[in-house]
Amino acid sequence: MGKAEVRVSNKISEANTLPSWLYTKPEVLEVEKSEIFSKTWQYVGHVSQFNKTGDYITTEVAGRPIIISYGKDEEIRAFYNVCPHRASRLVEGDGNKAVFTCPYHAWSFKLDGSLNRAPNMKGVENFNEDEFCLKKIKLEILESFIFVNLDPEATSMSSQFPDLFKHVRQHDLASFKKVRVKETICKSNWKIGMDNYLECDHCSIVHKALVSKVDMNQYEVDLYENYSYQATPLKGFSGDFDLGEGGRYYWLYPNTWFSFDPGPANLSIHQSIPIDHKTTKYVYTTFFKSDEITKEEEELMAIDELVRQEDLDICETVQKGLETGVFTQGRFSLTEKCVHQFHLLLQKDLEMVLPLEPATSSTAF
């Protein structure tokens, strides 16, 4: 008889990882969409994308279509990209519009979401225009980055992520320019990518070219309630290194991380978006200080591409291993503090699908 699966203990030295079925059963993802992705802050854009009244972008969060628009009052708002008349999608892509006009029955909506015109509703009794506005979504801007949360009762970004970007905010993050977006499909569960990113035990083995440039003896890890921070300087620099003189990496629960890599001033935002229980879309958004990409910046992006491919390959290997059924639960090394934090946060949010026995210690979660 096999060993019983146990919950993740708060004490890392005795903790088991989450069980493998959370990475392989398709029904788990449906719970994650409702209990995690629909209730957490998700990155959707940067203030540099909104310069003129009427500028808008579209995206999806937890499978829900969303519009982000720039109003006449210079406020950035988020709405569901769903017409309140017959539920058609209103707009596609990015662009600029004075009003959003539905392609189905030509209902139109102002940039603040209020109903502008409902041409087929003349003569309808007790029609209250205020009841047919676009449905608003909670939006916050933190250090020039735009996030939304589908949960209207969600606590603020500032309270969930205090002191986020404190090591880099002096570099005027609003001045960064989005220069490239790349999407990659990985044949693994979205959590495998997070597990991989949140530890660097594998770096000297999988990322030899990258590790050869940095001082791993100064590798730093800090845990906060809903996020973590990792950093290491280039060889020859100290721990208080300037932008580009090392790597600074911020992970935001559950599926987003911000990477300030060694090299010219840069930022890459990485999003791990589940397509199904064993397929993930990675969206990489690269920012530099100028729209014109230099040779040095091209070289940096080439290095990033290599590291991402190395990570993708190992994540797909892990997924195949999990699907064999041979592996049930692993253990944490003492250097995997960020992964341990991630598993504890997941465990807390997935109570309804985690019928696990408590770990034996009194410190068990």
Q: What is the CA radius of gyration of the chain?
A: 22
Q: Can you give the pLDDT at residue 84?
A: 97
Contact 112, 71 (CB under 8 A): yes
Q: What are the residue ranges spanned by the domains of the chain?
A: 12-40+166-349, 42-158
CA–CA gap between residue 157 and residue 147 (Å, rounded)? 8
What is the SS3 string spanning the chain?
Answer: CCCCCECCECCHHHCECCCCHHHHCHHHHHHHHHHHHCCCCEEEEEHHHCCCCCEEEEEEECCEEEEEEECCCCCEEEEECCCCCCCCCCCCCCEECCCEECCCCCCEECCCCCEEECCCCCCCCCCCHHHHCCCEEEEEEECCEEEEECCCCCCCHHHHCCCCCCCCHHHCHHHCEEEEEEEEEECCCHHHHHHHHCCCCCHHHHCHHHHCCECHHHCEEEECCCEEEEEEEECCCCCCCCCCCEEEEEEECCCEEEEECCCCCEEEEEEEEEEECCEEEEEEEEEECCCCCCHHHHHHHHHHHHHHHHHHHHHHHHHHHHHCCCCCCCECCCCCHHHHHHHHHHHHHCHHHCCCECCCCCCEC
Interval 56-104: pLDDT, tens: 999 999 999 999 999 999 999 999 999 999 999 999 999 999 999 999 9
Can you give the pTM of this predicted structure? 0.93
Q: Mean pLDDT of successive 10-residue segments in the chain (365 residues)? A: 80 96 94 96 97 97 97 98 98 97 97 96 92 97 97 96 94 94 97 96 84 89 97 92 94 98 95 97 96 93 93 97 95 97 96 76 40
Q: Can you give the pLDDT at residue 2?
A: 56
Q: Can you give the pLDDT at residue 360?
A: 59
The CATH architecture that domain 12-40+166-349 belongs to is Alpha-Beta Complex (3.90)
CATH topology identical between 12-40+166-349 and 42-158: no
CATH topology (fold) of 42-158: Rieske Iron-sulfur Protein (2.102.10)
Contact 140, 160 (CB under 8 A): no
* Residue 232 Cα distances to 81, 139, 165, 301, angstroms: 41, 32, 15, 19
Interval 244-282: pLDDT, tens: 999 999 999 999 999 999 999 999 999 999 999 999 999
CA–CA gap between residue 221 and residue 259 (Å, rounded)? 14
Q: Can you give the pLDDT at residue 236?
A: 93
